[in-house]
Amino acid sequence: MKPYRLWGLILLFMTASWLTAAGFSLSGVGTKGLSMGGAYRSVVSDWSSIFWNPAGLAAVEMNEISLTGTFISPLSSYVPHTQIPGYDGGYPMRYRVNAKSRLFVLPQIAYVMNADFLSSTKFGVALFTPFGLGASWDLYDPPIGFYERGYTPPKAFPEHDWESDISITCAYAGFARKFGPLSIGLSGGPLFGSISLRKVRLYDPVTVDTSLYSLPVQFRYFPIDTRFDGSGVSFGLNFGIKLEPLKNLTLGLSGRYYSPVKLTGDVNSAIYFPKNSVLESLADPEGKIFFQGGVLEADGDVSTELKLPMSLGGGISYAFGDLTLAFDAELTTWSVLDQIALDITGISFFGDSLPDDTLVMNWRNTWKYSFGIEYRGGERTVIRLGAYYDEGAVTDSTLTPLIPDINSKVSVNVGLSYLLTDRLTFDFNYEFVRASRKSVSNFVDVDSDGEPDNMPGEYSLSVDAAGIGLSFRF
Amino acid sequence: MRKLPLVFALSMFVLISCMKVEEVEGPVLSHGVLEEVEIASSDPMIGVKNAMVYLPPGYDSLDTTTTYPLVFLLHGYGWNYSFFQDIEDIADIADYMISAGEMRKCILVMPDGKNSLGGSFYTDSPFGNYDTYITEEVLSFMEENYPVDTTKIGVLGISMGGYGALKLTVSHPDIFRVGASHSGPIAFQVFLESDPITGINMMGAMLLENPVYDSTGNVVGYRIPYPPLLDQDHPLTTMMFAMAGAFSPVVKPLEEFDTLNYEFPMAQLPDGQWLGVILPIDTTAVPGDTVGLRQDVWEQWLANDVFTLIGQNYTVLDSLNTGLYIDCGGEDELFLQYHAMAVHDLLSSLGIDHYYEVFNQGPLYPPDRFPARHGTHLYLRLRESLRYISEHL
């Protein structure tokens, strides 16, 4: 093994420990494919083939180490229209809430080998993040009057009370081989999933004592701060083919499969009671706890299975001299994510066993259409432009601020590759994504468990993302 | 030139990472001050009472040039001056509304209208001259101690206070430019009408709280005993006695009380006479009876009835463009929504502009979970009435 190759492998494993992923349903991997809006299945010929279309590895001509950083800055906004008595004051009715500003950094690293000893078979390994989303909101505060003047609760309600952080990181190996005009490739390997969800639920004391119907509405809900953290390992598999039936015309077809991720972790809950001395004095002995301003906490273990969607896409590209036009279409089976069943063990606030829970997702399959242009502007520079239209997976019946993917999205992209030296290439891309505004009018209780599965309101989302990459060939 | 792409890329990252937004684009809250004061009455039956005063954000006691509108908040039966702060946190509601521009800066005063019967109905009576107390003594106290704009005075209240707010507005339109009633008993004739659901009226319901049993435990009739049972188990009886104390009180020697029928001595006065109440109905009945009305006493009640007073004073109200606000929950336990409807119909027939709403649960609030009962939604309705009052001051 040449020293270069050894260095590449060492670097790969060293950096694996600081890879993080979060932020947004990711548009793709690498800078080049993103620059072309994802219209890349029939074009790809670098390390990112492992994600886009493993058959693209067959076009790699030299050993290559690539290091890429993607920087994602989403701007999610939500105007609550919850309209539930008791929420008013708790949720900032009629006012826009913006998710906490965050800059997500997604490092990616890859090593591709043009192995002489494998004949015309090319080999590569890569660490990348195909899925990731996250948002952190300061949405709920105990409503006006929840605590009487001068009272300080033993534990303050958390500032950021609606949060999500989901990431799937893949450590894939892939190979491809060319058979005349046809290239075939396969990649796969373990994937590491982590999920963190935090949300506010509102407990209605009427469920245990109907005489409390006459309670003033501001005391009709006791907020419960619930947080779930879990992680797990699974595996995924990508396959792809590239076909050049005519000179300058290339077709690409690829698919991605992910085995469900079995997640295990912890669930933590805390219920917050109002403080009102007058109501406390009027309540019977069992009911006094409802007005004493206390906090009860419960912890448990949780396990669940997170299903990930398959996707299947095809692309076509045609080269007019230095100019290449590409188009892709992709179907992603988000409908597999109908629910996340949480198997919970632990003790509840009131001493009994914590019940299992189900997060209703009810997502739908989506189509994504991408268009890209690549222009070779001289010996050193390649310029790329792209755009895509991507349908939203989340339905109105389950839309909450936890999931930034609110609606169909349009993206515009620009990027370039610049040959710094004969061996070193600098890559850059910028992406702007805007989702169609979404207005949800009514609460929906999909699973009829008495608790709404969505949050009515006005949703909006835009994302700025940029990436830089360095590739060293040898 | 070769560094240009790198410089461009780094500039983009700096730009993106510097993007910050306010997380909640709501109002920046300014806070007012809440004070507890003592306001004395010349009426010994009232004496010195506490009151709560809310001073809006920006209030400066040293500023002698700025004046503020004044709004009275009248509590309901059984409560006292601290109700609006203790239960509804009126200071925080006002802070929020003023900060959000939903309400102009006002001084709020919450006087005490509780007497020995649990509620004065803000009426002058031997149990305490609470009309005079509110409209003269509390008002004078506020004028002397705070920069009140006496041309801009409003009043709102809940339940008994809702009655008081409209009665004071209709009786003193020279003082109050606007009045708002939440769930108030404001059309007394409705007390005599049968509720379409239960088939009984409020007077009958009061009698039902006072059953008479035979030796086997069967109900053989109804009778309000002497002494009356005025407690949590007899809420309607307790409230009706308070209303009788306000509208049909009596002072005479103990031996002259007809304690078997309508008249109930309640307390001995320093001069030896007894202060009591006369109920407007026959206090004895058997199952199947209709409630007997004592017309002369009932006339005394009607003389204090908001519905009646509007009929007498509507030309003045109309000429002064007095603001009138009426709301009530559609599932009020005391059936006061029918009072609101009656007054609304009257005002509409007289052509007097007013705000009216009998609120029910919308499709988002299933009635089985959020019934609009007596006072349960006051927390939300106060924003409507304060906004209405603010617009009319």
- Domain coordinates of chain A in residue numbers? 3-473
Residues B45 and B175 in one domain: yes
Residues of A in contact with B27 (CB under 8 A): 95
ipTM: 0.83
Q: Are B176 and B219 contained in the same domain?
A: no
User: Is B3 a domain residue?
Assistant: no
Which positions ≥6 away from A344 have C-beta within 8 Å?
A267, A300, A301, A302, A354, A355, A356, A357
Give B172-198 pLDDT, tens digit per residue. Answer: 999 999 999 999 999 999 999 887 777
Q: Cβ atoms within 10 A of the Cβ of A62, count? A: 12
Judge whether B14 lies within some domain.
Answer: no
Question: How far off is chain A from B24, nearest CA to CA, in Å?
Answer: 4
**Whether residue B115 is found in the same domain as residue B201:** no
Q: Provide the pLDDT for residue A426.
A: 95
Same domain membership, residue B66 and residue B161: yes
* B370/A468 CB distance under 8 A: no
CATH number for B345: 3.40.50.1820
Amino acid in the structure at residue A425: T
A53: closest CA of chain B, how far (Å): 27
Alpha carbons A252 and B393: distance in angstroms, whole number? 73
- Choose the final residue of a domain: B302, B330, B362: B302
**Same-domain pairing of B182 and B199:** no
Chain B residues with CB-CB distance to A275 below 8 A: none
Asked whether residue B25 is assigned to any structural domain, the reply reads no
For the stretch A16-30, what's the b/e string if a residue is b when 16 or more beta carbons lie within 10 angstroms of its beta carbon? eeebebbbbbbbbbb
Residue type, A164: S
Residues B265 and B315 in one domain: no
What is the arithmetic mean of pLDDT over B232-252? Answer: 94
User: Which residue in B10, B11, B23 has the most chain A C-beta atoms within 10 A of its own C-beta, making it the best mutation to test that interface?
Assistant: B23
Considering chain A, what is the average pLDDT of its residues?
86
B380 contact partners, CB below 8 Å, separation of at least 6:
A85, A88, A217
Q: Cβ of B34 and A96 within 8 Å?
A: no
Count CB-CB contacts under 10 A for residue B150: 12
Residue of B nearest to A207 (CA): B369
Element housing B243 (H / E): helix B235-247
Contact (Cβ atoms closer than 8 angstroms) between residue B264 and residue B245: no
- Rounded distance between C-alpha atoms, residue A464 and residue B16, angstroms: 7
Q: With the CA atoms of A210, A214, A216 and A220 taken in that order, what torsion angle do they form, in degrees rounded to the nearest 10? A: 10
Greater confidence (A18 vs A430) lies with A430
Closest residue on chain A to B100 (Cα): A95
Query: B377 and A85: CB-CB below 8 Å?
Result: yes
pLDDT tens across B316-369, in order?
999 999 999 999 999 898 899 999 999 999 999 999 999 999 988 644 456 667
pLDDT at A20 over 50: no
Single out the residue in B255, B277, B302 at which a domain terminates: B302
Q: How far apart are CA A297 and CA A308, in angstroms?
A: 32
- B1, B7, B10, B13: which to substitute to probe chain A, counting the most A Cβ within 10 Å? B13
| Neighboring chain A residues of B370 at a CB cutoff of 8 Å | 85, 217, 220
Check CB contact under 8 Å for B86 and A75: no
| Structural domain includes residue B74 | yes
The partner residue sitting opposite A217, judged by closest CB among B2, B85, B376, is B376
pLDDT of residue A92: 67
Is the pTM here over 0.90, yes or no?
no
* Contact between B372 and B330 (Cβ < 8 Å): yes
The answer to whether A402 and A360 are in contact (CB under 8 A) is no
**A218 chain-B contacts, CB cut-off 8 A:** 88-89, 379
Q: How far is CA A1 from CA A7, A14, A109, B66, in A?
A: 10, 19, 20, 87
User: Does residue B369 belong to any structural domain of this protein?
Assistant: yes
Sort out which chain B residues have CB atoms less than 8 A from A442's CB and list them: 363-364
pLDDT at B31: 93
pLDDT of A10 > 50? The answer is no
Q: What are phi and psi of B353, to 5 degrees?
A: -65, 140
How far is residue B215 from each of residues A277, B218, B219, B225, B229, measured CA to CA in Å?
44, 7, 10, 18, 21
Smallest CA–CA distance from B26 into chain A, residue: A95
Backbone angles phi, psi at A53, to 5 degrees: -165, 100
A-chain residues near B16 (CB < 8 A): 71, 73, 103, 464-466
Closest residue of chain B to A81, computed from CA coordinates: B364
Best of A73, A102, A144, A162 to substitute, by most chain B Cβ atoms within 10 angstroms, is A144
Residues B66 and B209 grouped into a single domain: no
d(CA A45, CA A58): 7
In this structure, is residue B24 part of a structural domain? Answer: no
Bridge pairing between strands A357-360 and A339-346 = antiparallel
Chain B hits for A103, CB-CB cut-off 8 Å, are 16-17
Least Cα distance to A393 among A412, A378, A406 occurs for A406
CATH topology of domain A3-473: Porin (2.40.160)
Last residue of a domain, one of B271, B302, B333: B302
The residues with which A228 forms a beta bridge, in sequence order, are: A197, A267
Which residues on neighbouring strands pair with residue A315, listed in sequence order? A252, A328
Three-state DSSP at B187 gives: coil
Using only C-alpha atoms, chain B has a radius of gyration, in whole angstroms, of 26
- Residue pair A301/A345 in contact (Cβ under 8 Å)? The answer is yes
* Predicted pLDDT at A218: 82
**What one-character-per-residue DSSP string does A37-75 give?**
TT--TTT--STTHHHH-GGGGGG--S-EEEEEEEEEEEE
pLDDT tens figures, A431-462: 999 999 999 988 888 888 877 888 889 999 99
Determine what percent of chain B is predicted with pLDDT higher than 70: 92
For A213, which of B13, B371, B378 is closest by C-beta distance? B371
R_g (Cα) of chain A, nearest Å: 26
Instruction: Give a yes or no: residue B4 inside a domain.
Output: no
* Residue A155 in contact with partner chain B when CB distance is under 8 A: no
Q: How far is A153 from chain B (nearest CA, A)?
A: 17
Write out chain A residues lying below 8 Å of B331, CB-based: none
Q: What is the average per-residue pLDDT within A36-52?
A: 94
For testing the chain B interface, which of A24, A101, A291 should be mutated: the one with the most B CBs within 10 Å?
A101
Domain of residue B276 covers 193-302
To the nearest whole Å, the CA of B95 is away from the closest chain A CA by 10
A276 contacts B86? CB cut-off 8 A: yes
Task: Tell me the residues of chain A between 213 and 242 that have a Cβ less than 8 Å away from chain B.
Answer: 213-218, 220
Average pLDDT over residues A77-86: 72
Residues B54 and B163 in one domain: yes
User: Considering the domain boundaries, does residue B27 fall inside one?
Assistant: no
pLDDT for the residue numbered A260: 94
Q: Do B214 and B169 share a structural domain? A: no
Q: What values do phi and psi take at A43, rounded to 5?
A: -105, -30
A149–B12 C-beta distance less than 8 A: no
B262 CA to chain A: closest CA distance, Å? 32
Query: Number of folded domains in chain B?
Result: 2
Structure tokens at B323: 């603001």
Classify residue A292 by its DSSP letter. B
From chain B, the residues in CB contact with A277 under 8 A are 86
Q: Is B221 in the same domain as B319?
A: no
Q: Which residues of A touch B88 (CB under 8 A)?
A: 145, 216, 218
Q: Is A442 on the interface with B (CB under 8 A)?
A: yes
pLDDT tier for residue B15 given thresholds of 50, 70 and 90: low
Residue B364: its chain A contacts at CB < 8 A?
A: 83-84, 442-443
Mean pLDDT lowest among A339-348, A359-368, A404-413? A339-348
Same domain, B381 and B365: yes
What is d(CA A418, CA A212) in angstroms, rounded to the nearest whole number? 70
Query: Quick one: B63 and B94 in the same domain?
Result: yes
